[in-house]
């Protein structure tokens, strides 16, 4: 596996792949890799000639300095996992390499970015659009893989691709959430949970899946019930639980508003912000 530190070398690899009619599959990550990332890598491996994984903790998408400072960084272990997974190239640039000058681009991400994570994390999605567009321009992937844990992020990236216009042959591949045996959605942030918090955290998926299996008559009651159940548990504080249309990300007020209803949740477990989602219906 080649470790690439510069944008110019990644571009060179991508140009060569294109010239040789080889498909590049890109898995953008912020490192601290776990089985969830590896499932994206495995899929990319099956579907492409060349697999590139980027490992970059992107500062422009953090609206909380402490979250950026404490974000786990495990480069050596990440490289080992990627090598074992048969990745062709790991792109691990320094911040100055990706941002030789401040990126002042403002993306008109529209309604998909105006709800849930949008208002909770001002600037976050613009930062995601900045880095992911840079990665797409450099790696020129035919497929790029994202996990559905960050459900809204996928809609935002699709919107960015639409806005940029230059990625006609790019497919955004959305991949199912990977969960621990007890149901907790795998996340790099899980390592920051204390053992006591880690024992409570699986309740998020338990409550969500029970709710999706037997929703209450109204969306409002369903949302309130999930929030109340989780808030009654130690360490847990729900930031939001919103049931949205799974394509537009717009909150629904009646089950009849959409054929594709997804409940998106953010919960603080202690000071660790966990996110998850569950499909209520998909016709």
173 binds ligand PAF (CB under 6 A): no
Q: Report the residue number, 227 or 276, with the smaller CB distance to ligand PAF.
A: 276
**Between 124-139 and 151-164, two packed helices, what is the crossing angle to 10 degrees?**
60
Spatial distance between the Cα atoms of 187 and 180, rounded to a whole number of angstroms: 10
- Within residues 55-84, the interface with ligand PAF by CB under 6 A covers 58, 61
Tell me which stretch binds ligand PAF (CB under 6 A): 128-136, 166-174, 221-229, 251-259: 128-136
Tell me which stretch binds ligand PAF (CB under 6 A): 13-21, 124-132, 189-197, 248-256: 124-132
Q: How many CB atoms lie within 10 A of CB 168?
A: 6
Q: What does the buried/exposed string (b/e) look like for 256-267 if buried means 16 or more CB atoms within 10 Å of the residue's CB?
A: eebeebbbbbbb
Among 78, 117, 148, 150, binds ligand PAF (CB under 6 A): 150
Residues with Cβ within 8 Å of 65's Cβ and at least 6 positions away in sequence, in order, are none
Among 28, 36, 93, 270, binds ligand PAF (CB under 6 A): 28
30 binds ligand PAF (CB under 6 A): yes
Among 112, 115, 132, 139, binds ligand PAF (CB under 6 A): 132
* Minimum distance from residue 54 beta carbon to ligand PAF (Å): 7
222 binds ligand PAF (CB under 6 A): no
Q: Report the residue number, 121 or 203, with the smaller CB distance to ligand PAF.
A: 121
Q: Looking up tokens 């500062």, which residue turns up?
A: 59
CA 177 to chain centre: 10
Q: Is 37 a catalytic residue?
A: yes
Quick one: tokens of 72?
Answer: 């786990």
Quick one: tokens of 86?
Answer: 């048969």
Residues with Cβ within 8 Å of 184's Cβ and at least 6 positions away in sequence, in order, are 190, 198, 201, 202, 204, 205, 274
Q: Would you name the residues annotated as active-site residues?
A: 37
Binding site for ligand PAF (CB under 6 A): 28-30, 58, 61, 128, 131-132, 150, 153
């Amino acid at each position: 596996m080649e470790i690439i530190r510069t944008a110019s070398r990644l571009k060179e690899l991508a140009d060569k792949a294109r010239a040789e009619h080889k498909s590049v599959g890109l898995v953008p990550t912020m490192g601290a890799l776990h089985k969830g990332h590896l499932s994206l890598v495995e899929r990319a491996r099956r579907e492409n000639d060349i697999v590139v994984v980027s490992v970059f903790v992107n500062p422009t998408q953090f609206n909380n300095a402490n979250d950026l400072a404490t974000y786990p960084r495990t480069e050596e272990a990440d490289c080992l996992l990627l090598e074992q997974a048969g990745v062709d190239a790991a792109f691990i640039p320094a911040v100055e390499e990706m941002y030789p000058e401040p990126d002042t681009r403002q993306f008109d991400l529209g309604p998909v970015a105006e709800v849930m994570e949008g208002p909770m994390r001002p600037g976050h999605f613009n930062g995601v659009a900045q880095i992911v567009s840079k990665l797409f321009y450099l790696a020129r992937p035919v497929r790029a893989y994202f996990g559905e844990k960050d459900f809204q992020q996928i809609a935002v990236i699709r919107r960015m691709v639409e806005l940029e216009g230059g990625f006609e042959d790019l497919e955004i591949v959305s991949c199912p959430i990977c969960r621990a045996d007890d149901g907790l959605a795998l996340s790099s942030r899980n390592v920051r949970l204390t053992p006591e918090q880690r024992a409570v955290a699986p309740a998020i998926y338990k409550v969500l899946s029970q709710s999706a299996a037997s929703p209450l008559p109204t969306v409002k009651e369903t949302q309130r019930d999930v929030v109340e159940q989780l808030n009654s548990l130690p360490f847990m504080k729900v930031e939001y639980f919103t049931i949205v249309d799974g394509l537009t990300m717009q909150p629904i007020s009646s089950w009849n508003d959409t054929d594709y209803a997804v409940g998106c949740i953010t919960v603080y477990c202690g000071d660790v912000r966990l996110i998850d989602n569950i499909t209520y219906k998909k016709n």
